[in-house]
A and B are shown apart, each in its own frame.
Chain A
Amino acid sequence: MRTEAKKRPEAGKTRGGIDLAGTLSAMVFIVLACLALWDTTSMTDSDSYVFPWAIAAAMIVFCILLIVYNLTRAAVGAGDSEGPESSLNHGSTPRRVGLVVAMLGPALAMPWTGFLLSGIIAFGAIMLLAMYDPWTGRRRIVFPLAGLAIVLGFYTLFSKVLLVPLPVGIWFR
């Protein structure tokens, strides 16, 4: 089945046509490229720094071109684009942040808690964040049990069958 692609607004533009987010991103990338260039000064072998130096320099040039282009181009029609603000407004930002924390926190705690406990905590927290339906009595029992079975199943598959040395955690040694 071939369906015609719908005209999609280019991400990153704000109303009025000024790509403020793109311009700011370009500035952040320039800072990153400058950091990379600064780091190359500590390298002794030309084989190490020639390639990244050239890439960082090219990145700065492209970023400057993007900034100049964004500042000088004629404003495109208002309302034809979707900005980052509107994307952020669509959906729950606390849940988004919650997901990242629920993954990153247990990952960072893994050396102490081990993979299994980290996995169970991450799974439970993300399950709570992704739940939009009411917690009925059946769901209260089935979902956590199914989650536990999935975590234990994958843990067993990786540690016992595929022999991946998953961290046990300092607390459990």
Chain B
Amino acid sequence: MTGLDYLWQALTPLNILLALAGVVAGTIIGSLPGLTATMAVAVLVPITFSMEPASALILMGAIYTGAIYGGAYSAILLNTPGTPSAIATTFDGYPMAKRGDGDLAITLACISSVVGGLIGAGFLFALAPPLAEVALAFGPVEYFWLAVFGLTLISALSEGNLLKGLIGACFGLLLASVGVAEISADIRFTFGSQVLLGGIETVSALIGLYCIPVMIDLVATPDRHLKVTTESKGFRLREALVISWKGKFNLIRSSVIGTLVGILPGAGGSIAGLVAYSEARRSSRRSAFFGKGEPDGVQATESANNATVGGGFIPTLVLGIPGTPPDAVILGALMIQGVRTGPSLFTENGSIVYTFIYGLILATVLMLPAGLVIGRYAYKTIITIPKAMLVPTVAFMTMIGTYAIRNSISDVVIMIVLGVVGWFINRFGFSPSPIVLGLILGRIAEQGFVQAWTIGAAGEDLTGMFFGRPISLVIIVFTLLSLFYPLIRKRWSATGAVQNAD
């Protein structure tokens, strides 16, 4: 079969319908706080058991990509990441919505998600086998350094007070340690409480730290939730396309970052979004406006997190190692269907794989009209619903969404308490973002550090373990660059000014 045959196979009416239905269902589920992309795929997986493998994959891929995009709605309109992948979308998306540009932010997020999704799928199509080798080259120490690299974002998230950002990140890292230790199974920081035994669930903490403070302030005043302009501006597609074209390098770079992070098993969309945001901020001439409603920030996060969909499928299909948590669910569904993943999948079951990749591209393209329409509806709903209905609805959704993650009432209580903590510390100049960053990266950093330490100690070469591996060194260099780039740029500017004066 040729490539064109696979394309026609993907374009059957059934597959187009499945792709559209998957994108719509995924977008709606992803937009609800607490319902992650993993849950969206897991919940809808049983539907695929009776389907052809390629059609099943198309549906699951469409749900996954739709859910990642759907997370942007609540991030932009409610300051609550619908999925962890949309954490960094809140940084600029919510300030945009607050100043009356929520519709523009949603359209921009949709375009960026489509571009990111297409670039991720392009990598999956063209470079899957060689890129899968990259995933194998990442050991515990590389994950540790990747987490450290992620932590350098604190300087970007601290809103002018690095010390408070560092304290917040330490608090987040300590929160990540609560519960049963992953490696040694010691019980840590529960102080005898059964509620804390299960640890702090990341999504619950996200909802608490970002959404509850907004609810607390919403209920306190009769002011409108978002600024609303009297005239209807429609989708603001032309405006968003112009911004996207101007930020094309940001889009491409963020999508490549998203794909590469997606390839790394366990890293996921949240880290991809944060790293892409950090890089966009670092390289932007408007870096001072990041965190205050800069469209480039939304572009970077949304393109990166959707690129992880294609990226995550690379190790899943080539190696049988899921790149992201939803990939693990999809892998399980494929096994039930009798499809064996591995390097031979591309040659022996080419019709399944290439039909799926075309289907994923189709679903991503369909996300543009579907996402714009659903986004417009979500925006209109949020700005027109009376406050007396909006606040209790969102509060109830946070409670039921948080409960559903682990079927735990403790998580609901922890979410509300963390929300109150988040509200107070926000008033005292501590941003919630470094805490969330610490919470997400804490487990990766600790696991990588302890494993690398154990391996290094066993081989009596700790220095070589941490500082002697090529990929580690590259990440360390990026970390140092990320930390000291503002100083280096300042120095260059000063040198340039002196030379010009001479």
Contacts and interface: CB of A to CB of B under 8 A. Distances in A.
A55 B170 contact: yes
B215 to A, nearest CB: 6
Contact of B292 (A5, A12, A25, A63): A5
A138 to B, nearest CB: 12
Interface stretch (B364-372, B390-398, B470-478, B487-495): B390-398
Given A115-B400, A126-B219, A48 B188 contact: yes
Counting chain A CB atoms within 10 Å of each CB, the highest count among B101, B289, B294, B388 belongs to B388
A58 B400 contact: no
Contact of B171 (A29, A49, A102): A29
A59 B170 contact: yes
Interface of B is mostly: helix
B239 interface: yes
B502 interface: no
A5 B412 contact: no
A127 interface: yes
B161 A10 contact: yes
A107 B396 contact: no
Interface in A121-155: 122-124, 126-127, 129-133, 139, 143, 146-147, 150-151, 154-155
Contact of B289 (A5, A44, A47, A88): A5
A65 interface: yes
A70 to B, nearest CB: 9
Given A62-B170, A115-B403, A21 B216 contact: no
A84 interface: yes
Contact of A122 (B173, B293, B396): B396
A88 B393 contact: no
Contacts of A33: 170, 174
Counting chain B CB atoms within 10 Å of each CB, the highest count among A33, A48, A88, A104 belongs to A48
B477 to A, nearest CB: 23
A79 interface: no
Nearest to B392: A126
Contact of A45 (B166, B184, B221, B222): B184
Contacts of A127: 388-389, 391-392
Nearest to A126: B392
B134 interface: no
A26 interface: yes
A30 B173 CA distance: 15
B326 to A, nearest CB: 16
A5 B404 CA distance: 38
Interface in B149-200: 159-161, 163-164, 166-167, 170-171, 173-174, 177, 181, 183-184, 186, 188-189, 191
A73 to B, nearest CB: 12
Contacts of A123: 392-393, 395-396
Contacts of B423: 96
Contact of B427 (A2, A84, A122): A84
B450 interface: yes
A43 interface: yes
B381 interface: no
Contacts of B429: 10-13, 19, 21-22, 25
Nearest to A88: B427
- Chain A: number of interface residues, binned into ranges: 35 or more
A69 B413 CA distance: 35
B404 A158 contact: yes
B188 A52 contact: yes
A110 B230 CA distance: 43
Contact of A99 (B170, B171, B395): B395
Given A5-B288, A5-B292, A29-B167, A50 B450 contact: yes
Interface in A89-106: 90-93, 95-96, 98-100, 102-104
Contacts of B409: 107, 110-111, 167
Contacts of B395: 99, 102-103, 122-123, 126
Contact of B219 (A45, A51, A96, A154): A96
A45 B392 CA distance: 46
A162 interface: yes
Given A55-B174, A66-B164, A126-B395, 5 more contacts: A12-B430, A48-B184, A100-B419, A129-B219, A130-B391
7 contacts: A5-B289, A40-B188, A45-B181, A45-B184, A66-B164, A84-B428, A146-B389
Lowest 10 CB-CB distances: which A-B pairs, in order? A12-B429, A91-B220, A59-B170, A48-B186, A132-B222, A5-B292, A45-B184, A126-B392, A130-B391, A131-B388
